[in-house]
Amino acid sequence: MNQVPSDSSVPQANILIVEDEQGPREALKLILSPYFNLYTVDRAEVALQILATHPIDLVTLDLRLPDQSGTDLLAKIRESGHDVDVVIITGYGTLQSAIDAIRQGVAGYILKPFNVSDLLDVIKKALERRTRLSSLQGALQALGNLWTTGINLPTAMKHIETLLGAKHPELVQHASRVNFYSSLLTEHLQLPQDDREAIQLGAYLHDIGKIGLHDRLIAGHPSLSDHDQELINCHPTIGAQFISNIPFHPSVAQSIRSHHEKFNGSGFPEGLAGEQIPFSARVVGLANVFDNYVTGQGQQRAMPVPEAREMIRQEAGKTLDPQLAELFAKVVW
């Protein structure tokens, strides 16, 4: 292991390079040492030791290591709960390995031979995102603590609006609309007040997992590649993990994780069907679908409300809960 000193006048992150080949390892040290504090190792076992004893901010990780695969090491990093970003740098990448890595929450995926400016840009953005997420996580934690003591829901929504708006205005606008449609539906359901408020909060936070995605993916262009779509499909799982330690009502996490499940079992991330899908997620999922219809999100055109309402009726018992779909079609105008 080598620790490389750096210019003390610039705040520096601690980066762990996990690379068994000397050439790429030395190249990474040469490129990164002017900007960051570096640790370099050539084996997964030593990398875990460093992570357990040093405050590492980011790991650059090769997928082929002598003692175990980089994928296995990544899984162990996640299982151990280390608060660290990971950038994959490999010469043996495939689309599936990239998708698997994204599902594990990596901050970047770079193929060898890498471009120096691209590498620095990915690391810079990962560290900037880390700072933003740290602030967001702290704010959500505070919000969760307030929730347990009876926070005023409009106040909570205002906080969330600020948090989401820092990433992308459309996240706020979409969250607000889905919250409105969810509220419209829950007003006609016999639910306790805390359950209704939890569904509203879940509706507002349902896309929180998108904060790590590129803006063009958040915008929902209809001509996305299969790879792009796979990345987008990871956001419910990422979002649920993001708030997993925050003391919200259980319905909040359920809405985030399962709002893309479909009544016929064809949704994601788990392919749940019927009443396997948490009730709150069925409400938020329906509101999300309706908003996509009327705004044209992910499709060719925006629909007038009457047409969108009819589409909701047609999906009753297929992709949408039939009772909720019929009720919603009656109350939305």
Is 205 within a domain? Answer: yes
* Domain membership flag for residue 177: yes
CB distance 320 to 263 below 8 Å: yes
Q: Which of 129, 163, 188 is the last residue of a domain?
A: 129
316 and 256: one domain?
Answer: yes
- Are the CB atoms for 97 and 71 separated by under 8 Å? yes
CATH number, domain at 61? 3.40.50.2300
Order of strands across the sheet that contains 58-61: 3-4, 37-41, 14-18, 58-61, 85-90, 108-111
Q: Structural domain of residue 34, as residue ranges? A: 3-129
In the chain, the number of structural domains is: 2
- Residues 312, 228, single domain; the answer is yes
Residue 205 shares a structural domain with residue 71: no
pLDDT in tens, the chain (333 residues): 444 344 443 458 999 999 989 999 999 999 999 999 999 999 999 999 999 999 999 999 998 899 888 888 988 988 887 878 899 988 876 666 776 676 666 878 888 888 899 899 889 888 877 776 666 666 666 666 665 666 566 666 666 676 666 556 677 888 889 999 999 999 999 899 889 989 998 998 999 888 766 555 555 555 666 767 777 788 898 888 888 878 888 999 999 999 999 999 999 999 999 999 999 999 999 999 999 999 987 666 889 999 999 999 999 999 999 999 999 999 987
> Is the peptide bond preceding residue 5 cis, with omega within 30 degrees of 0?
no
C-alpha 112/C-alpha 121 separation (Å) is: 15
113 inside domain: yes
219 belongs to a structural domain: yes
As given in the structure block, the two tokens for residue 116 are 């120096």
Residues 78 and 173 in one domain: no
What tokens appear for 286 in the block?
Answer: 């329906």
Do 45 and 177 fall within a single domain? no
- Do 262 and 230 share a structural domain? yes
Shared domain for 14 and 85, answered yes or no, is yes
Do 288 and 244 fall within a single domain? yes
Residues 6+ apart with CB under 8 A from 293: 299, 302, 303, 307, 308, 311, 312
On whether residue 146 sits in a domain, the answer given is: no
The pTM of this model reads 0.61
Residue 120 counted as domain residue = yes
